[in-house]
Amino acid sequence: MSDAPTITLNNGVVMPQLGFGVWQVPDDEATAAVGHALEAGYRSIDTAAVYENEVGTGRALAASGLPREELFVTTKVWNSEQGYDSTLRAFDASLERLGLEYVDLYLIHWPMPMFDTYVETWRALEKLYADGRARAIGVSNFKPAQLRRLAEETATVPALNQVELHPTLQQGELRAYHREHSVVTEAWSPLGQGKDILADPVIGAIAERHGRTPAQVILRWHLQLGNVVIPKSVTPSRIRENINVFDFALDEADMASIAGLDTGTRLGPDPDEMDWRG
């Protein structure tokens, strides 16, 4: 079993730096996938209401027999549920589907600035935190402008911001803002969705030198930058491969080479333009 290193959030809650993401895993496959991840040593699971696999995820958590306090479960309020009362209702529904009494981290999935409801949505998360139903609260896909607005209008700094981040989109400006304001950076699509970056020759050369795979090199790069990562796979061997990254280190030259791969290219939507509400 692999023990992931941990990160301490700005409210003192400790979370694994490497977890398991389940976007695009159908509900009936989520139980097996999360089960494999827990067996491989993952203790942090990232789901969302819109992934429609909270039920399957919750079944795997229950079947594992692991004590609740050893697990770190994240879920998110979907765009169509933003607003104070609707977020509280959405949270209740997520807990029910997961079969849990509380979550470790609850996130606003996208800011949806055109709705102008993320501040009141955030106040609902503050209430859930005050009631002890979410041990930490954070955001996802927020840019500095939206983080600044939360800082000006509310009393709680998000513990974490989960954003698209991989070698071709390194988010330097956002990471600097996070560092300055004690917000942890969590990388979604940390492997660039398994697309071109895994075949990049720079990554390939580093992987060969360390006797590792390209996926392991990229995950190691994230960990050394201080990012929390949540790679996804449904293949047991890859699930194990992706957590087997705590016993080697990239050197300064490797880190510099990967820094050179940043092209600022997104795989997902720009959060300011994201308009998926359904």
Which residues are marked as active site? Answer: 51
* Mask for 196-235, x = binds ligand NAD (CB under 6 A): --x--------------x-x--------------xxxx--
Amino acid at 68: R
Q: Binding to ligand NAD by residue 241, rule CB under 6 A? A: yes
At residue 178, the 3 state secondary structure works out as: helix
Q: Binding to ligand NAD by residue 46, rule CB under 6 A? A: yes
Which of these segments, 15-23, 117-125, 146-154, 173-181, binds ligand NAD (CB under 6 A)? 15-23
Q: Binding to ligand NAD by residue 190, rule CB under 6 A? A: yes
Q: Binding to ligand NAD by residue 104, rule CB under 6 A? A: no
Query: Using CB under 6 A, which of 7, 17, 21, 118 touches ligand NAD?
Result: 21
For ligand NAD, the closer CB: 174 or 230: 230
Tell me the site size for ligand NAD, rule CB under 6 A. 26
Q: Binding to ligand NAD by residue 242, rule CB under 6 A? A: yes
For ligand NAD, the closer CB: 83 or 231: 231
Exposure class string for 113-135: b at 16+ Cβ within 10 A, else e: beeebbebbbbbbebbbeeebbb
For residue 271, what are its two tokens?
Answer: 């959060």
What is the C-alpha separation between 211 and 101, in angstroms, rounded? 43
What does the H/E/C string look like for 139-174? EECCCHHHHHHHHHHCCCCCCEEEEECECCECCHHH
Q: Binding to ligand NAD by residue 16, rule CB under 6 A? A: no
Q: Binding to ligand NAD by residue 192, rule CB under 6 A? A: yes
For residue 53, what are its two tokens?
Answer: 């696999």
Q: Binding to ligand NAD by residue 162, rule CB under 6 A? A: yes
Q: Binding to ligand NAD by residue 158, rule CB under 6 A? A: no
Inter-axis angle of helices 84-98 and 118-130, nearest 10 = 50
Smallest separation, CB 13 to ligand NAD (Å): 19
Query: Using CB under 6 A, which of 2, 23, 55, 64 touches ligand NAD?
Result: 23
Q: How far is CA 251 from each of CA 89, 147, 187, 189, rounded to the nearest angstrom?
A: 48, 33, 21, 23
Smallest separation, CB 175 to ligand NAD (Å): 16
Q: Binding to ligand NAD by residue 189, rule CB under 6 A? A: yes
Query: Using CB under 6 A, which of 73, 88, 191, 258 touches ligand NAD?
Result: 191
- Find all residues with CB under 8 Å of 118, minimum gap 6, and list them: 82, 108, 111, 112, 139, 142, 146, 150
Q: Binding to ligand NAD by residue 141, rule CB under 6 A? A: yes
Are 74 and 104 in contact by the 8 Å Cβ rule? The answer is yes
Amino acid at 231: P
Are 73 and 48 in contact by the 8 Å Cβ rule? The answer is no
Rule CB under 6 A: which residues touch ligand NAD?
Answer: 21-23, 46, 109, 140-141, 162, 188-194, 198, 213, 215, 230-233, 238, 241-242, 268
